[in-house]
Chain A
Amino acid sequence: MAILPWGLMIASYLFLGGAAGGAFLVGGLLDLQGKNSKLSKWGGYVGALAIVVGLGFLLLDLGHPERAFLAFVNVGSSVMTWGTWIISAFAVVAVAYISFYFGMFPWSKLVRARKALAAVGMVLAFATMYYTGILVGVAESRPLWSQAAIPVLFTISGASAGIAMLLMPSALSKKEVGDEEVHGLERTDALLIGAEVFVIASIVFVLANSTSAAALSVQTLLTGDLSLLFWAGLVGVGLALPLLLYAGTWTFRKHKAPTWVAFLASFSVLVGGLTLRYVVLGAGQSYEMTQGLGFTVAGIAIYVPTMTEITLAAGLFLVFAVAYALGARMLLRK
């Protein structure tokens, strides 16, 4: 029985959606502040790329991707429909925004239009990040999901992942973007990670002492089937490691941090972002509120992605990585 519907594919989609929003938001903000057009351009590109690949994950998860356009229909009540509109609009705006950085387009000199589009895109970017949390937040039956902290957490995480995506090329060569912006972003990211820790801790504490179904969800994370991913993947690699490394780079700044440190910091934030979505989805669904379903759902708490899912995910992330690297080469050249 397929009781756990949302696994690796949707976790990847939510992660990329959040990161896309975060990247574009930061890039757009820098544009509006008139700083660093390279990062703005890069933010636009990363945002567009991440959202498109994320949509790829989503479409591959659907049973009937050829009918996906039908998802625009239920505007009245379906959060997913709202999300479909938001993300579609965001994707369009992000692509349009990047076009402003290519001289071949006649509108590339219209700075105010570009900034206006950035502003629109930022709203959509924020909505995208927030939407990924609302999506699961409306599920009253899943205590881990159905709380105000989740959209907040996903937004913060998305912003943090977006920044990490922006920073990765600069981590490889600090000369490619301005040092000031990089360090500013690193500081922001560290603050965001700290906020994440705060929110996650709150969720864990509150739920662990709430209803038994909620407590069981949390136990899956802390001591159950997802505990390794939670502690090693999320807390260790995704939160503690980058914090330590960012702290290190601030120390190192005077002595120029090795590139691998900065790169690792960004990469582990990304790993943490994906892990966060994955464990939240998994823990949220393994214990539902109809207590006494223990035996029928026994075994589904141990969700293991199928080989197909792993292959598709690896493939899509590879596509992302290649496009990301190519984009970094082309767009961030001096």
Chain B
Amino acid sequence: MSSLVSPPKLFEVFKLQQTSSPSDTWIKSACRMCPAFDAIRVLVRDGQPVRIEGEPNDPRSLGHICAKGNSGIWLHYDPYRVKAPLKRTGPKGMYELGKWVEISWDEAYNTIASKISQVRAKGEDGIVMYSSYSALPYSQTWASFTSAAIGTNENIHLGMNWCGHTAHYLSRVAHLGFTSVVDYDLCNYLIQPGRTHGMEGGATFVPRANKVANAHARGMKIVNFDPRMGAAGAKADEWWPVLPGTDGAVASAMLEVLLVELQKYDVDFIKKNTNGPYLVGPDGLYVRDPSNKKPLVWDSVDKVAKTYDDKSVKDFAILGSFNVNGVDCKPAFQLLKDAVTPMSPEWAEGVSGVPAQVIRRIATEFVNAAQIGSTITIDGKTLPFRPAAVEYYGGNASNHLHGVANGMSWELLNTVVGNQDAPGGHCNDTIWPWLRGGPDGMIEHPAASYTLVKSPPYKFVFPPQSPELEEFFPLGDHLGAVAYVTMSDPTNYWGAGNKKIEFMMLHATNPVLSMYDPPKMERIWKDAEFIAYFCLTIDESAEGFADIILPDRCYLEEYQILNDWLMQPVASPPANIPFLHDALSEIASRAGFLKDYNTALNASLVDPYKVDVNSKVPTEDLFDRLLKSKYGAEKGLTWFKANGGVKTAQKFTYQPWKFMLNPPRRLPVYVEMHVEVAKELKKNMDANGVKWDFSDYSPVPTWIPSHLHVDTPPYDLIAMAYLQSYHTYTWTNQVPTLAEISLEDPYASYVMINTKTAEARGIKDGDLIWVESEIGKAKGRARLTEAIHPRVVAIHRSMAGWARNSIVKDLYRMNAGIAYQTLRPTKMEYIDKLTATLENCIKVKVYKAEGS
């Protein structure tokens, strides 16, 4: 048993041939190093994987594979792989290094099953199911288990940290979907603020990299706004540094140039496909027809108000002010214009640092490149052609306090040139067919909120019952940060956080390293009743908090279906490790909800492939059924194992909101929903004496400075995090090749700091420095560079792990990099009141460490 905490011996079971062997075979599978899930083929020699290449038949990756994908076979050979269930014997704590004894699978299953069935039986909240976004997005097995386990109980949603909260929200509101991307194949002008697709960043990298490179080679101009010049800034045609959190001001100023200075925008689109013509009264709400409640518009020819869908409308007024039924009103578009009028490029320069003339010029180039009015014929359909777009998904442009209020201009720049879901423009990546509009076609609450596990969403109750304060965030996006605030302060917030995690189960995710605010996290996790963790190696989350660790199969040993492609095992795991589904089945069975689990699985299956809900379904059988359910009797597991999959090239459904919906929807240029929801919320909050800030519910772009933009002595610099394309999440730091590549990157394992900023603090290149925020400090080495804004320091994400059994310890001479989360405060003041986004950047101060 003690051998488990010392490095394991090499296993004898592997006897690899030393030269090319007649047994060499290529097996098709999928890469799970990031959510792109590119198809791969794996060279297997004597039952062991020795090389990975991209699968040439993948029409999205085109047979390419990134550094992470190439290096994936290391996971199979990691000597620190957990090989047997382990039980914790020592104390828990954030930086505690766990003590373990090996237990049998039987004991592990029984313990977990009994814990979870206790919690379920109590009918209380307190179950948290955490999974890696990369490992199991929309996975049938984990998702089914989650819904079965939680059942009708509440669960605590603690997740999601780095995603593009603002972008996701606006994608729902504007696009019917989860994410949006640009139609690179046809785009001629691309503006990318923040983490940038196809250039950096670890998620869905390869498919986008292909497209962006092709588009750039074809002549697409790329303009990058980022406080740091990463690869994207280096390769873009223009890089403009911007103060963190002020990108929105730049966007609003660009909007001002289009709407006020040039008065150039897609008038037709705004009139017919947006709520621009909707008349808005002094209360900020639509002026509606008294009889049928439909929003009214002003017919500028007939000079009378009509309902928006009145076929007799000759021309929609989008500017001006009118009086309808005694109510002074303006078209929504006029309100948008009024809002951006004061936000001139000169003003934006003062806020962001981007020169006014640059803002003006880029806005002009953008709208000219959009070719408003032009059309293109695709598949026999004539569509508007708008080859200019902004894409702002990204950890930093999109993860700010006041992100929607300040940043909706990015989305609106797309809307006003009419490129939404148009060829060449800003297109929906993941359509959610259930996102329908209201009677007037506009997306409305509650459909707009991101209901991960709760459906229908929370009704307002007081005092709030959920630790995420879902009652207070009716339009909220991932609310995990709120839960951290309330649960670490259980006597406050009306006791909403006075909930314990009764049962938490994790798979392939390491929140302790990647999430935020260690003191708060420790309070909550330490308090958790029971934590079970399927992990490949004992990482920081396991070290500190797991009660039971279960071995996991890496992706080269597992099944999964992703993007019409099959990921299949190419080798046996290094020990007796079951498929994840089999382990979940076993747990469900012993905990008495196997029927529920199988029933949930059956939701993804069709007759005659549905499973018998009373018996455990072996993994291979399950996947055969899943495949046949979706692809037909001929294409079961055998077919997929031989052929890989049926992946097709990405094809956009242009203007789904127009053609797929009935009635066809208009897009917002004015988010009336914000006013409506804020009004309702304010009524409820006032009735209960809750002081709340509603400025984030602005229906039009505005500028709300955050703590980043005012003096907060002694914290005078802003820290930001970023990600290179050879890393994603935390586990890529476990891969020796990737860790080595990181070390050779001049910036990745250092704190990037502007040369002058460093010199003013007596810091030389390579010096050990402290980076300190209001909640903690961390030590790292300074890299002096010109490629960063003087008021910003940049830290690569998810580094500086402290788990013992990892290549990080073996390879890095010191904890390379800084654990960003040690600095990131989680408090209500830093949480956006609309989307519940936690401000991604941190006010810090930087100074030389002793003994440099």
Contacts and interface: CB of A to CB of B under 8 A. Distances in A.
Q: Do chains A and B touch in the complex (CB under 8 A)?
A: yes
Contacts of A295: 746
A261 to B, nearest CB: 43
B746 to A, nearest CB: 4
A108 B85 CA distance: 84
B744 interface: yes
Task: Give the size category of B's interface with A.
Answer: under 10
Contacts of A298: 746
Interface in B744-766: 744, 746
A296 B744 CA distance: 7
Contacts of B746: 295, 298
A46 to B, nearest CB: 45
Nearest to B746: A295
Nearest to B747: A295
A298 B744 CA distance: 10
A11 to B, nearest CB: 27
Contacts of A296: 744
Interface string A287-299: 0000000011010
A3 to B, nearest CB: 12
Interface in B59-87: none
Main secondary structure of the interface of A (DSSP, over half): loop
Interface string A311-322: 000000000000
Interface in A56-106: none
B103 to A, nearest CB: 45
A129 B770 CA distance: 54
B788 to A, nearest CB: 15
Contacts of B744: 296
A139 to B, nearest CB: 25
A162 B746 CA distance: 46
B42 to A, nearest CB: 29
A327 to B, nearest CB: 46
B736 to A, nearest CB: 16
Interface in A295-334: 295-296, 298
Interface string B727-751: 0000000000000000010100000
B733 to A, nearest CB: 20
Nearest to A295: B746
B94 to A, nearest CB: 34
A297 to B, nearest CB: 11
B779 to A, nearest CB: 20
Interface in A205-244: none
Interface string A262-306: 000000000000000000000000000000000110100000000
A302 to B, nearest CB: 11
Interface in B31-60: none
A222 B161 CA distance: 51
A184 to B, nearest CB: 53
Nearest to A1: B744
A1 to B, nearest CB: 8
A295 B744 CA distance: 8
A167 to B, nearest CB: 46
A295 B743 CA distance: 11
A298 B781 CA distance: 15
A172 B802 CA distance: 61
A262 to B, nearest CB: 46
A296 B746 CA distance: 8
A295 B749 CA distance: 13
A151 B744 CA distance: 37
B140 to A, nearest CB: 45
Nearest to A298: B746
B767 to A, nearest CB: 15
A304 to B, nearest CB: 15
A296 B740 CA distance: 13
Nearest to B765: A298
B742 to A, nearest CB: 13
A295 B750 CA distance: 13
A223 to B, nearest CB: 16
A298 B745 CA distance: 11
Nearest to A296: B744
A298 B746 CA distance: 9
Nearest to A299: B766
Nearest to A294: B746
A298 B766 CA distance: 11
B424 to A, nearest CB: 36
A296 to B, nearest CB: 7
Interface string B763-798: 000000000000000000000000000000000000
A144 B211 CA distance: 46
A306 to B, nearest CB: 16
A201 B746 CA distance: 36
A211 B99 CA distance: 60
A296 B741 CA distance: 11
B740 to A, nearest CB: 10
A296 B745 CA distance: 8
Nearest to B745: A295
A225 to B, nearest CB: 13
Nearest to B744: A296
A149 to B, nearest CB: 34
A295 B746 CA distance: 6
A29 to B, nearest CB: 53
A298 B783 CA distance: 12
A258 to B, nearest CB: 46
A275 to B, nearest CB: 27
B702 to A, nearest CB: 42
Interface in A114-129: none
B683 to A, nearest CB: 59
A96 B744 CA distance: 53
Interface string A168-203: 000000000000000000000000000000000000
A210 to B, nearest CB: 27
A70 to B, nearest CB: 25
A81 to B, nearest CB: 33
A296 B743 CA distance: 10
A7 B744 CA distance: 23
A224 to B, nearest CB: 14
Interface in B666-712: none
B19 to A, nearest CB: 22
A274 B127 CA distance: 72
B738 to A, nearest CB: 17
Interface string B602-627: 00000000000000000000000000
Interface string B374-408: 00000000000000000000000000000000000
A225 B524 CA distance: 51
Interface of A: 295-296, 298
Q: Nearest 3 A-B pairs (CB), nearest first? A: A295-B746, A296-B744, A298-B746
3 contacts: A295-B746, A296-B744, A298-B746
